[in-house]
Amino acid sequence: MENDNNERPNMPGGETLNDRLRRAAAMARRETPQTPVAPNGPQPKERQEPPQETYRPEPQRPAPNYRETPPEQPRHAHRIPAQEYVTGPASTRKQKPMTMWIAILAGGLLLAVLAVIFLSVSHHKEAAEQQQQIEQLQLANEQIQLANEYDALNNEFAQYENQTSLLANDSIVQKYSAARAQVEKLLQELKNEKNKSAAQISKLKDEIATLKGILRNYVEQINALNQENQELRTENQEVKAKNQQLSQSIQTVQANNKVLNERMTLAEKLNVTGVTLTPLNKKGKKEKNVTKARQLMVTFTIPQNNSTPVGEKTIWLRITNPEGDVLPGGGSFGFEGATLPATARKSIEYAGEEIGGVTIYWDVNATLTPGDYTVELFCDNYRLASRKFTLKK
């Protein structure tokens, strides 16, 4: 308990040392500083000390054998302890925390301003990049549209390209080719460049517009020429129709004339009837077995025909065996522009009267085979008769 008495010694009037210090600090706060005056002015009044209280000792109390309860806190315990007030004037103690807080606020405000500036610059830069990307996308889209338009122009030009022969000169085709080459050059440049240029796109639009104008003029000229040609074609069709009618009339006349000529020719042709083929043996008698025949005899009759010119007539005979071979021995003759081999021939004098029993013989030079044999008679470039006979064994 001795230590407790040392920490709180009893003072006159029953005050402790802490109580005296708190009271002194409170009195110091209530005092105001005196304004200094000039040396010749009135002197400041002396500071009056508060009257000292008379020390009255209190009767000593027996100390209990336990630690005393701490004294109650003073009424103004929430105030700053007295020792803080004795370090300096009150204004100096207040200015230090205020200056510190102002510096902190200024630093925070500076950081906030810098952050806003940084965010603003970053946002502006990002917006600029986004705007540039949007512009590039728009330019690329315009490039695609212009390329499609260029392809459509080329397809349209290709439809009329085979009609360039209708033009009086090919200068318009040369202009179109030059403009098309310029457009293709610009398209290739834009394709090779990563960043498109609005000026290039504008130039490409101008070149395609020029190409359109040339193509429009080209199509107008082609259409005008086609219209003229259509009119000419209509006239030609009318003329052709008339010519076709005339041709048909001529063909009809020619056909009639041909029929007449054929009739006249047929009327002049020498006729034959009663054609027969007979195998003969070595005695000149009829032989039934063709393999034993020594001669083949063909007989026929020439009837009367007043339209047939009179005079000597040469009759050519052709006999074809079952194998399709012409039996030889009679030379050859001309028929319808070709030369044919003959089996035999005979000359007669025709006077316009009927000649019956005309006979032509052919000597067998090899054994004949059974089968079908064909007999043909010719005279004056006409086939007079054609008959088929079957010879048996």
More confident residue, 295 or 224: 295
Q: Of the spans 67-76, 77-86, 181-190, which averages the highest pLDDT?
A: 181-190
Answer whether residue 40 shows pLDDT above 90: no
**Residue 371: inside a domain:** yes
Residue 300 lies in domain: 273-391
- Closest Cα to residue 142, out of 71, 203, 58? 203
Position 1 scores a pLDDT of: 41
Residues 181, 193: Cα–Cα separation, whole Å = 19
Burial (CB count within 10 angstroms: exposed 0-12, middle 13-18, buried 19+), residue 373: buried
Answer whether residue 315 shows pLDDT above 50: yes
Count up the domains in the chain and report the number: 1
Position 84 scores a pLDDT of: 44
**Residue 1: inside a domain:** no
Position 169 scores a pLDDT of: 55
Position 53 scores a pLDDT of: 47
Answer whether residue 145 shows pLDDT above 60: yes
Average pLDDT of the residues of the chain: 76
Residues 176, 215: Cα–Cα separation, whole Å = 7
- Residue by residue, DSSP assigns 192-241 as H-SS--HHHHHHHHHHHHHHHHHHHHHHHHHHHHHHHHHHHHHHHHHHHH
pLDDT, average across residues 288-296: 94
**Residue 230: inside a domain:** no
pLDDT, average across residues 97-113: 86
**Residue 387: inside a domain:** yes
Backbone φ and ψ of 298, nearest 5°: -115, 130
- pLDDT tens figures, 335-374: 988 999 999 999 999 998 999 999 999 999 889 999 999 9
Position 37 scores a pLDDT of: 44
**Residue 277: inside a domain:** yes
Question: Which CATH number is 344's domain given?
Answer: 2.60.40
Which residues in 200-238 are b (16+ Cβ under 10 Å) and which e? bbebbeebbebbeebbeebeebbeeeeeeeeeeeeeeee
Position 78 scores a pLDDT of: 47
Model confidence pTM above 0.85? no
Residues 139, 166: Cα–Cα separation, whole Å = 40
**Residue 183: inside a domain:** no
Position 92 scores a pLDDT of: 53
Residues 202, 221: Cα–Cα separation, whole Å = 29
**Residue 334: inside a domain:** yes
**Residue 379: inside a domain:** yes
Position 335 scores a pLDDT of: 92
Position 202 scores a pLDDT of: 82
Position 280 scores a pLDDT of: 96
Position 324 scores a pLDDT of: 94
The DSSP call for residue 342 is: -
pLDDT band at 76 (very low <50, low <70, confident <90, very high): very low
Considering the chain, what percentage of its residues have pLDDT values greater than 70? 70
pLDDT band at 196 (very low <50, low <70, confident <90, very high): low
More confident residue, 157 or 83: 157
